[in-house]
């Protein structure tokens, strides 16, 4: 996919890519993007984010470790609590149905669905993965800052013609990842991975229609004429 020429184009063309082309990501692009992303908003200028980008042998070695390790218990953190809200659960079911339908995987085909979910461990064959972690002392405001940093990174990567897939799934292997990176489990929490690469334009999983709620159902405008 071509580079994005405006912020609007980057926002609208960014999507979670789950099939990557067999094409390496140049280090100079990653360094430029990560250097620019340092200027993402940060409350009190705490800059809570930390990360490591893996490719090649180090990435493959980590993925092999995850393949033979069961998901950790207890979880690093829970990302599924909003499922108690009917509207959130409905959105989850809708995006899942649309995604599996695009791949012609039937609802009752648990084996095929399980095989696809397992591709998370390989980050859908992305050539590079950003592993994101930060000190456990960081609270909810700093988690928000990390999210703004990651959004900045993903939009800058779109500007450079690259694609991403944020992966909270990888937190299920947080201790394995931190051990592989030499990061203390006692002092740091692992947040997510960001798969990085070039999208496979032909794979239907990258092209299904995504849905968002109408603007006026989420945002109020008060005091305007």
What's the confidence (pLDDT) of residue 122? 96
pLDDT higher than threshold 90 for residue 5: no
85-134 pLDDT tens trace? 999 999 999 999 999 999 999 988 899 888 998 999 999 999 999 999 99
In a domain, 222, yes or no: no
In a domain, 186, yes or no: yes
Tokens of 90: 């409905």
- pLDDT of amino acid 225: 83
- Residue 144: inside a domain, yes or no? yes
Q: What angle do CA 73, 76, 79 make, to 5 degrees?
A: 110
**Inter-axis angle of helices 27-37 and 140-159, to 10 degrees?**
140
Which residues, 6 or more positions from 181, have their beta carbon under 8 angstroms from its beta carbon?
52, 131, 133
Please state the φ and ψ torsions of residue 103, each to the nearest 5 degrees: -95, 5
pLDDT per position as a tens digit, 21-68? 999 999 999 999 999 999 999 999 999 999 999 999 999 999 999 999
pTM: 0.96
* Beta strand ranges found along the chain (DSSP E): 50-55, 128-135, 163-167, 188-197
Strand partners, 50: 133
The residues, ordered by sequence, that sit 6+ positions from 35 with a Cβ below 8 Å of its Cβ are none
CATH of the domain at 182: 3.40.109.10
Other Cβ atoms closer than 10 A to 212: 8
**pLDDT over threshold 70, residue 1:** no
Structural contact between residues 32 and 157, judged by C-beta atoms closer than 8 angstroms: no
Spatial separation of the C-alpha atoms in residues 214 and 208, rounded to whole Å: 19
122: nearest Cα among 191, 179, 169? 169
Domain count for the chain: 1
Query: In angstroms, rounded to a whole number, what is the distance separating the alpha carbons of residues 196 and 162?
Result: 7
Query: Quick one: what percent of the chain has pLDDT higher than 70?
Result: 100
To the nearest whole number, what is the mean pLDDT of the chain?
A: 96
**Cα distance between residue 55 and residue 71, in whole Å:** 22
- Domain range holding 160? 7-79+122-207
The answer as to whether 20 is a domain residue is yes
What's the chain's Rg over C-alpha atoms?
18
SS3 call for 29: helix
* Assigned domain for 84 exists: no
Within a domain: 60: yes
Is residue 63, in this structure, part of any structural domain at all? Answer: yes
Residue at 112 is within a domain = no
């Amino acid at each position: 996919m071509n580079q994005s020429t405006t912020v609007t184009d980057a926002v609208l063309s960014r999507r979670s890519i789950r099939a990557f082309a067999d094409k390496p990501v140049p280090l100079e692009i990653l360094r430029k993007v990560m250097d620019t992303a340092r200027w993402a908003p940060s409350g009190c200028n705490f800059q809570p984010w930390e990360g490591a980008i893996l490719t090649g042998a180090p990435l493959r070695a980590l993925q092999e470790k995850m393949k033979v390790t069961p998901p950790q218990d207890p979880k690093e953190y829970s990302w599924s609590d909003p499922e108690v809200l009917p509207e959130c659960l409905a959105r989850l079911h809708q995006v899942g149905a649309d995604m599996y339908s695009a791949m012609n995987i039937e609802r009752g085909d648990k084996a095929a669905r399980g095989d696809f979910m397992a591709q998370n461990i390989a980050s859908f064959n992305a050539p590079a993965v950003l592993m994101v972690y930060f000190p456990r002392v960081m609270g909810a405001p700093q988690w928000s800052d990390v999210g703004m940093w990651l959004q900045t990174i993903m939009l800058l990567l779109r500007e450079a013609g690259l694609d991403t897939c944020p992966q909270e799934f990888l937190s299920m292997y947080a201790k394995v990842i931190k051990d592989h990176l030499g990061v203390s489990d006692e002092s740091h929490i692992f947040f997510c991975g960001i798969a990085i690469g070039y999208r496979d334009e032909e794979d239907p999983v990258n092209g299904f229609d995504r849905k968002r709620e109408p603007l006026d159902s989420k945002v109020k405008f008060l005091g305007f004429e």
